[in-house]
Structure 1
Amino acid sequence: MPKRREKNKNGKLRQIANYLHQCEIERKEAEQIVKIHPEIGIDEAYLIQRELVKLKLSRGDKIIGYKLAFTTRTKQRSMGISTVGFGYLFDYMKIDDGGELNLNDVIHPKAEAEIAFIIGEDLSGDVSPYEVIEATKFVAPAIEFVDSRYKDFKFELVDVISDNFSASRFVIGSDVKKPSEVDLRLSGVIFERNGVVEKTGALGAVLGNPAIAVSQLVKFLSKRGEKVKAGSIILTGSITEAIEVKEGDFIRVSICGVGEVSTYIVKK
């Protein structure tokens, strides 16, 4: 590609990243990228995501982990893909267990029930799920609040990749277990709102075992010259369908053999 054309392309990708970043900061809905720039493909979408990450780092935000997406076969089929997607988690996104999600900080969030892996050793290369389990310090129940910036929460694959997979806020439970102490396939999950069970599932909904999803993340990052560093938090993807939340809700996720995590939905 000629230098001028490449420069123009890179400038366009940075411009899109800045647009999405401003929409998040100003809490306003964005137009779908595929409608404005139908020529952009998946590889370029990840480049936009990388530019978005650079913008956040320039503001002083710190990367503390990763979020996985498309970690159920049903979701992968609906998106026409066969691998997981990933985005970055930043320090400003973390809410304390039992804390509050302020609706004034987001656009139109939805809650997801997940299990988080806290990595104890650096991971890179062609790692197996077993090696992931060995390198994991502990697992914990988690709630992720995805908040697509796109109008009416409608997006396609290129859109959601560019927008860091709708990463917004998350809560990690105080109850933790070593992964070897948990059945990462069959442990049941209960997703409640205001004491009423909304969804149920099992950890095996995540590719049969969430450690498989983490191993795919490590392999993907390794191809980009990156590694998962010790201390990283990895949200392994939604176990059930997401639920919409509103002011006054109390959200709780319980995982058999692990524990529970909860948060309140407020508007300040």
Structure 2
Amino acid sequence: MSRSQGGAERPPAPGASEALLVRLAEELAKAARARIPAPLLSRRHPELTLADAYRVQQISTGWSLRAGARVAGHKVGLTSAAMQEQMGIHEPDSGVVLDHMVAPSGSSLYASDFMNPRIETEIAFRLGRDLTGTADLEDVAPAVAEVFLAFEILDTRFPDWDITLVDSVADNAACAGVVIGGPIPFAPAWDLSAEQITVTANGTLAGAGQGRDILGDPLRALLWLTRRLSRLGTGLRAGDIVLAGSVHASLPLLPGTHFRATSTRLPAINLHVLPADVESEDLC
């Protein structure tokens, strides 16, 4: 099974030609470079299937890998009712986390480095062993070595967030950056569904949720991802980080904001969104 989502794997039964999918990936890459939004793919090409969208994502990831990037892990999105309601999409999606997208808690960034950024608070895992498509829920927990809080920076290369599942998946499930908190060892008997999480923006409560808001149990998001990647011809490997999904609706990533998230048992996580007139070399 291939390690990355960027190789020669091909999802079955696409609805569009490979040439079109490459062209769409090129359009999204150009939009990111120029900071000029691309028209919605679903609106221009209603024939696109979900398999097509994941293929566009694969193509884009493959270009990044050939340019020297490394797969650090994956994100699962749209796993909570709050996020599904906010986006008008009613099933999960997944994206790839590359090494240059990851920063530690306490990092700083500029909102202006993104096009339309938002932020989510998530429970995340680091795997201690491989997971394959034959896994079931009993296999997932023992594969987790560490658990921690994470902020996911969302961004879209489309004009706004009024997107379909196909648009989201093709755009790497909107994953643009990840800030990871301090990890702690994970015990398979740990009930993450009871974890209470709150996030503040400049000291004011901005969001809250529980582990059970993520498909009832964050480990179910990990199982969903394992099976999804198997259908794409790839899988999860020891050392991968996996973001299980947000426990609250996403928040605007505004300049001059200090985000802080706390949890029942997981170490707190912090992110500084710098004012536009402040210089920093510590960017996510």
Q: 2:265 aligns with which of 247, 257, 261?
A: 257
Aligned pair in 2 of structure 1 residues 145, 75: CA closer, same or farther (>3 Å)?
closer
Equivalent AA in structure 2 for residue 225 of structure 1: G
Distance in structure 2 (CA, Å) of the matches to 1:32 and 1:219: 28
Q: Is the 8 A contact 2:57 2:169 kept in 1?
A: yes
Q: Is the 8 A contact 1:139 1:179 kept in 2?
A: no
Structure 2 gaps of 5+ residues are 1-13, 280-284
Structure 1 gaps of 5+ residues are 1-5
Distance in structure 1 (CA, Å) of the matches to 2:198 and 2:234: 34
1:57-78 deviations in Å (ceiling 9; x for gaps): 1222211100001212465574
Residue 126 of structure 2 is matched in structure 1 by: 118
Residue 163 of structure 2 is matched in structure 1 by: 155
1:41-68 deviations in Å (ceiling 9; x for gaps): 2121111111111121122221110000
Distance in structure 2 (CA, Å) of the matches to 1:186 and 1:47: 36
SS at match of 1:152: coil
Once the two structures are superposed, the pairs formed by residues 124-143 of structure 1 within 5 Å of their partners are: 124-143=132-151
Residue 247 of structure 2 is matched in structure 1 by: 239
Distance in structure 2 (CA, Å) of the matches to 1:192 and 1:129: 33
Q: Is the 8 A contact 1:21 1:55 kept in 2?
A: no
**Higher helix content, 1 or 2:** 1
Instruction: Give aligned-pair identity as a percent.
Output: 27
Q: Is the 8 A contact 1:18 1:55 kept in 2?
A: no
Aligned pair in 2 of structure 1 residues 192, 23: CA closer, same or farther (>3 Å)?
same
SS at match of 2:160: helix
Residue 41 of structure 1 is matched in structure 2 by: 49
User: Cα offset for 1:26?
Assistant: 2.9
Residue 79 of structure 1 is matched in structure 2 by: 89
After TM superposition, the score normalised by the length of structure 1 is 0.91
2:24 pairs with 1:16: yes
Distance in structure 2 (CA, Å) of the matches to 1:74 and 1:240: 6
User: Cα offset for 1:180?
Assistant: 3.9
2:200 pairs with 1:186: no
After TM superposition, the score normalised by the length of structure 2 is 0.86
Q: Is the 8 A contact 2:130 2:237 kept in 1?
A: yes
- Figure out how many residues of one structure are paired with residues of the other and give that number: 260
Distance in structure 2 (CA, Å) of the matches to 1:44 and 1:175: 35
Give me the CA root mean square deviation. 1.9
Distance in structure 1 (CA, Å) of the matches to 2:245 and 2:263: 14
Distance in structure 2 (CA, Å) of the matches to 1:113 and 1:85: 17
1:118-157 deviations in Å (ceiling 9; x for gaps): 0010111222233211111110011001001110222111
